C-alpha cells in the first residue's frame, strides 16, 4: 500500500470532471482533504450535489463547489468555461476524468458519436478553454485519465461512419487519443510552467463498464465487483500527479501506480493530425455544417 500524498494544497484550486462518482469523486475528496478548493464538475446536478455533500462529510472540507457541464455537449463546455472564468481567478489542477463506454452507438447533442465527443473532444475543448485560468496559476498541472485499454484509432473515421460500431473499439480508440492529446499538450506547454500527464487507474470498480452493456460490459461489471480496485485506489495516481512535489516539473509522461511507464503511442505527426481533427470538430463552422446536414437528412 502506497503512503498517502501529504502536502498542503491550501490556496490551490483543483477542478475535477466526472466527479459525481467513481475515480472523479474519490480524487475530489482526496484533494479536498489536502486543503484545496475543489470544483466538482458533473453532468447531473442532483446527483452531483449528493456527491458534494458526501465529500464534505467525509473530509471535513469547507471549500467544495459544484459546476454543471455535459462533456458531450460543446455548448455546455463553453458555458461552463465562461462561468469558470467569471467565478475563478485561477486553476492550479485540472483533472480530465469524465468518460463513457457505450455498447450501442449514440450521438451527442452536436450529432457526434458520443464516446468520441465525451472522452476526446470533451478533454480537448475543456483544456483548451481553461488554459487562461491554468496560466494564471503560474505553475499548474493537467492530469488526463487514460487507460491501458487503448488502440485502433482511425483519424479519418473517428465516428465509426465507415466501420461497424463496436463499444470496446470506440472506447479504446478514445483512450489512445487521450494519451496522444496529452503528449501534444505537453509539447505545446513546454516552458510555460504547466505540466500535462496521462495515467491508467487500473481496473476500478466504477459504473462505466456496467453502463456499456453487452457481453464485455457485463463481464467487466461482474469482475469489477469481485476483484477490482476501489475508486480511492484508482484515484491514487491522479492525486499523486495533481499534488506531489515529486512530479512538479515532470510532463508528457504516462503513469501507472505512481510509476512512469513507456507508452507505445508516441508519434508527433499523428498527434498533430489528431489535434487538427479535434480543432476541426470543435469549430463553430464545422459543427454548424454537421448539424445542418443531419437536420436536412431527417427532414
Q: What angle do CA 38, 125, 161 make, to 5 degrees?
A: 130
| pLDDT band (50, 70, 90) for residue 229 | confident
Q: How far apart are CA 182 and CA 160, in angstroms?
A: 23
β-pairing, 93-96 vs 64-68, is unpaired
| pLDDT band (50, 70, 90) for residue 204 | confident
Mean pLDDT along residues 52-57: 97
Q: Is the pLDDT score of 45 beyond 60?
A: yes
pLDDT in tens, 143-158: 999 999 999 999 999 9
Q: Tell me, what's the pLDDT at 299?
A: 47
C-alpha cell, 177: 487519443
pLDDT in tens, 172-182: 999 999 999 99
pTM of the model: 0.90
Secondary structure class of 39 (helix, strand, coil): strand
Mean pLDDT along residues 194-199: 98
Q: Tell me, what's the pLDDT at 253?
A: 98
| DSSP string for 92-152 | SEEEE------SS--B-TTSSBHHHIIIIIHHHHHHHHHHHHHHHTSSEEEEEE--SS---
Mean pLDDT along residues 207-231: 59
Q: Give domain limits for the chain.
A: 13-298
Q: Tell me, what's the pLDDT at 205?
A: 63
Of the candidate ranges 82-96, 100-114, 256-270, 272-286, the one whose mean pLDDT is the lowest: 272-286
C-alpha cell, 128: 483548451
For the domain spanning 13-298, the CATH number is 3.40.50.720
Mean pLDDT along residues 63-78: 98
Q: Tell me, what's the pLDDT at 86?
A: 98
Secondary structure class of 170 (helix, strand, coil): helix
pLDDT in tens, 79-137: 999 999 999 999 999 999 999 999 999 999 999 999 999 999 999 999 999 999 999 99
C-alpha cell, 35: 486543503
| 165 belongs to the catalytic site | no
Please tell me the number of Cα atoms within 13 Å of 50 on its side-chain side. 6
Of the candidate ranges 38-52, 125-139, 281-295, the one whose mean pLDDT is the lowest: 281-295
Among the listed residues 123, 165, 171, 240, the single catalytic one is 171
Secondary structure class of 74 (helix, strand, coil): helix
Q: Tell me, what's the pLDDT at 219?
A: 55
DSSP annotation of 201 reads -
Kindly state the percentage of the chain with pLDDT values over 70: 87
Q: Tell me, what's the pLDDT at 288?
A: 54
Considering only CA atoms, which of 42, 77, 11, 79 is closest in space to residue 53?
42
C-alpha cell, 77: 463546455
- Cα dihedral: 234, 239, 245, 250 (round 10): 70
Cα radius of gyration (the chain): 18
C-alpha cell, 18: 466526472
C-alpha cell, 147: 487507460
Amino acid at each position: 500500500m502506497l503512503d498517502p500524498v501529504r502536502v498542503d494544497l491550501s490556496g490551490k484550486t483543483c477542478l475535477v470532471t466526472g466527479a459525481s462518482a467513481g475515480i472523479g469523486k474519490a480524487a475530489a475528496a482526496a484533494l479536498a482533504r489536502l486543503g484545496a478548493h475543489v470544483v466538482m464538475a458533473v453532468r447531473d446536478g442532483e446527483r452531483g450535489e449528493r456527491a458534494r455533500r458526501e465529500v464534505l462529510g467525509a473530509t471535513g472540507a469547507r471549500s467544495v463547489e459544484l459546476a454543471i457541464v455535459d462533456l458531450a455537449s460543446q455548448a455546455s463546455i463553453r458555458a461552463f468555461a465562461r462561468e469558470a472564468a467569471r467565478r475563478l481567478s485561477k486553476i492550479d489542477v485540472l483533472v480530465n476524468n469524465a468518460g463513457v463506454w457505450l455498447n450501442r452507438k449514440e450521438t451527442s447533442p452536436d450529432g457526434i458519436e458520443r464516446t468520441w465527443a465525451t472522452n476526446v473532444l470533451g478533454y480537448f475543448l475543456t483544456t483548451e478553454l481553461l488554459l487562461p485560468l491554468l496560466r494564471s496559476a503560474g505553475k499548474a498541472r493537467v492530469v488526463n485519465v487514460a487507460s491501458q485499454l487503448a488502440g485502433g484509432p482511425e483519424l479519418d473515421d473517428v465516428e465509426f461512419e465507415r466501420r461497424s460500431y463496436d463499444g470496446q473499439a470506440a472506447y479504446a480508440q478514445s483512450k489512445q487519443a487521450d494519451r496522444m492529446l496529452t503528449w501534444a499538450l505537453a509539447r505545446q506547454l513546454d516552458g510555460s510552467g504547466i505540466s500535462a500527464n496521462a495515467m491508467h487507474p487500473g481496473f476500478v470498480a466504477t459504473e462505466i463498464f456496467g453502463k456499456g452493456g453487452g457481453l464485455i460490459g457485463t463481464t467487466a461489471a461482474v469482475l469489477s465487483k469481485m476483484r477490482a480496485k476501489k475508486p480511492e485506489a484508482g484515484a491514487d495516481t491522479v492525486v499523486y500527479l495533481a499534488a506531489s512535489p515529486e512530479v512538479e516539473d515532470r510532463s508528457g509522461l504516462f503513469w501507472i501506480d505512481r510509476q512512469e511507464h513507456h507508452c507505445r503511442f508516441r508519434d508527433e505527426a499523428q498527434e498533430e493530425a489528431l489535434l487538427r481533427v479535434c480543432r476541426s470538430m470543435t469549430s463553430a463552422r464545422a459543427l454548424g455544417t454537421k448539424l445542418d446536414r443531419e437536420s436536412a437528412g431527417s427532414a
